[in-house]
Structure 1
């Protein structure tokens, strides 16, 4: 099968979308298919020297004017086109009725633009972009949603018929597994020396990973940790390590105001192996998101043998399974109590939770995901209903 994957504009730094497209490319090629991953190129700001505001609009020209012309030419040579991120759904007219699949990762931005999310506001240009994205999704013959919750929310905001939207769970996009203790400590020790962070390899810690989008609730993570510090402690209080994007100004202000600089460790831009070491060594992974399309860190942590405390709504309840502990992310005092209980649980209970998480993570193998997508491609090529 000749499969064209449409990926994301690299300067936008949408890392999870890039990893998904690259996973699809790698796994499909291993199955013997002819695969090409085609992305919009930064042609108008090739040097990357344009000021931020101008770079944004040059990016729009790269993505909305130049790339569709290339896609139109290239798509003719393939059997099926897979738009790997629904935020590129406006490319559908460029593939000229080719059999196609779009993966919908979440509808958070669309819901925000429609003023359905009370925690977020969207400017006029963002609303215009999300209107284009929703318009593209409305024209799609086949949409693969990454969770049941994402499918439900997509059907609520779009004109798609139920038979056009199916669920294909994400596969873990890196071979995460428990890292042996000595190897993990060596990895963290090396990282600590590289980043000038003391005792990164020797103190117990709570772990969080995420970007700075509003729904990741990273300021909430800090507030929960501060609540934990006020609870009576019978043992050493673990540090909080936060990986992902660098802290924003509001987060830095909170850390300074509450004198947390010795307790909260910021680790931006980790490699997969460094993340694996953190997951494998943490006492618990705290992930109190306010909204998600899927929730990759939950599965990554479980695959490394790390207990998970995450939010008590779909899709996180759908993804985390029975091994995860669920919380109301807005009740930060209660989340702190749940976190304290997890930190204090017996080794027997912890081992049971770890094994349950390892078992749950097996539901999300890349092989299962690729099997489902290949079947969906065949369905799209024959013109049959996806449902």
Structure 2
């Protein structure tokens, strides 16, 4: 099978999508398929102009120059070529191959739902709404789709403006290896790397500053737990540099000396970070899939997350759940109390109970291996027929 993989340009600075694209590229090549990558090059984007213009110059590269290149390349592609879009956000390019074999991978529709006003926590600007509408009109030309969760598939069917011919769910597979490592050795390694006392353990969160990651909510639960119980282990938040809002909020905490933001931690340390943690506290408001849930489980780390799809799809019977943080501020205190109570429950597990949780977690993680995911995706690729 000859596959053309449409991917996000490198100059956007994304991390998760390049990893996913790399998984597809290597996975399909290992299965004997011929795969080439088509992606916009930084032409206008690299011009030495003001940073405020970079986004717009990038749009020229993506939506004016690149489509011309694609039309020229299509002349040399056989009718049997399969065109794969690694993300529905690449929707504006889908019409270029609407009459050829194609399939669109869907991850999450949070940006589009925000633009449509259905996510009050994340209001969208006028230009942002127009951009998301542009993407939606594009992927709605598509006929065949793979979603990473049932929740994403449900959103796809609600938001697609045309006719869907084929739609399946292929859960993500871990795109790098994670193992259950020694908690003591992992903590020692992190201590030496970060110069933080972690020998008694720590509560971990990993993620960016996106609204739905709910990093402030993580600190709220931690503060409430520290106030209500006698535990004193630190909170370690791994991810991008905290926003000004997050820094200001954390500085108001009575326990600010034990709240640590860790940025630029290489992938080599992430497995150890999970294995050394007492638990992963991951109360996201929403997700497309929820990578940290399954990464933590594969690393032997108990998980507390939100009882909402797709988080509970991924966590299954192995995770501990709390409600989504309510939008009504009058209910926030009860949410924090409930989160703190659940945190204390997990942190108070005896050795036997914790080992049981870890065993369930490891078993759950086996449902999301790279091999399993790629086999399901390949099977779907082979079923695509020419749609005119």
Same topology, TM > 0.5 = yes
SS at 2:3 equivalent: strand
Find out whether 1:267 has 2:251 as its counterpart: no
Q: 1:147-296 maps to which residues of 2 (within 5 A)?
A: 147-161=149-163, 163-181=165-183, 183-185=185-187, 187-192=189-194, 197-200=195-198, 202-233=199-230, 236-296=231-291
Q: CA deviation at 1:163?
A: 4.6
Q: CA deviation at 1:381?
A: 3.5
Q: CA deviation at 1:59?
A: 1.0
Stretches of structure 2 lacking an aligned partner (at least 5 in a row) = 326-334
Q: Cα gap change, 1:276/1:287 in structure 2, threshold over 3 Å: closer, same or farther? A: same
Q: Is this contact kept in 2: 1:72–1:94, CA < 8 A?
A: yes
Q: Is this contact kept in 2: 1:91–1:136, CA < 8 A?
A: yes
Q: Cα gap change, 1:186/1:204 in structure 2, threshold over 3 Å: closer, same or farther? A: closer
Stretches of structure 1 lacking an aligned partner (at least 5 in a row) = none
Q: Where does residue 313 of structure 2 map in the other structure? A: 318
Q: Where does residue 372 of structure 1 map in the other structure? A: 376
SS at 1:258 equivalent: coil
> Which one of 332, 341, 362 corresponds to residue 337 of structure 1?
341
SS at 1:262 equivalent: helix
SS at 1:155 equivalent: helix
Q: Where does residue 83 of structure 1 map in the other structure? A: 85
**How far, CA to CA, are the matches of 1:127 and 1:261 in structure 2?**
37
**How far, CA to CA, are the matches of 2:345 and 2:184 in structure 1?**
27
SS at 1:149 equivalent: helix
Question: What TM-score, normalized to structure 2?
Answer: 0.92
Root-mean-square deviation (CA, aligned residues, Å) is 1.9
Find out whether 1:308 has 2:303 as its counterpart: yes
**How far, CA to CA, are the matches of 2:219 and 2:70 in structure 1?**
44
Question: What TM-score, normalized to structure 1?
Answer: 0.92
Q: CA deviation at 1:298?
A: 0.4
**How far, CA to CA, are the matches of 1:190 and 1:102 in structure 2?**
44
Q: Where does residue 58 of structure 1 map in the other structure? A: 57
Q: Deviations over 1:307-334 (max 9, x none)?
A: 0000011111111010100101321221
How many residue pairs get aligned? The number is 376
Q: CA deviation at 1:382?
A: 5.1
**How far, CA to CA, are the matches of 1:77 and 1:312 in structure 2?**
46
Q: CA deviation at 1:198?
A: 2.9
Q: Is this contact kept in 1: 2:294–2:315, CA < 8 A?
A: yes
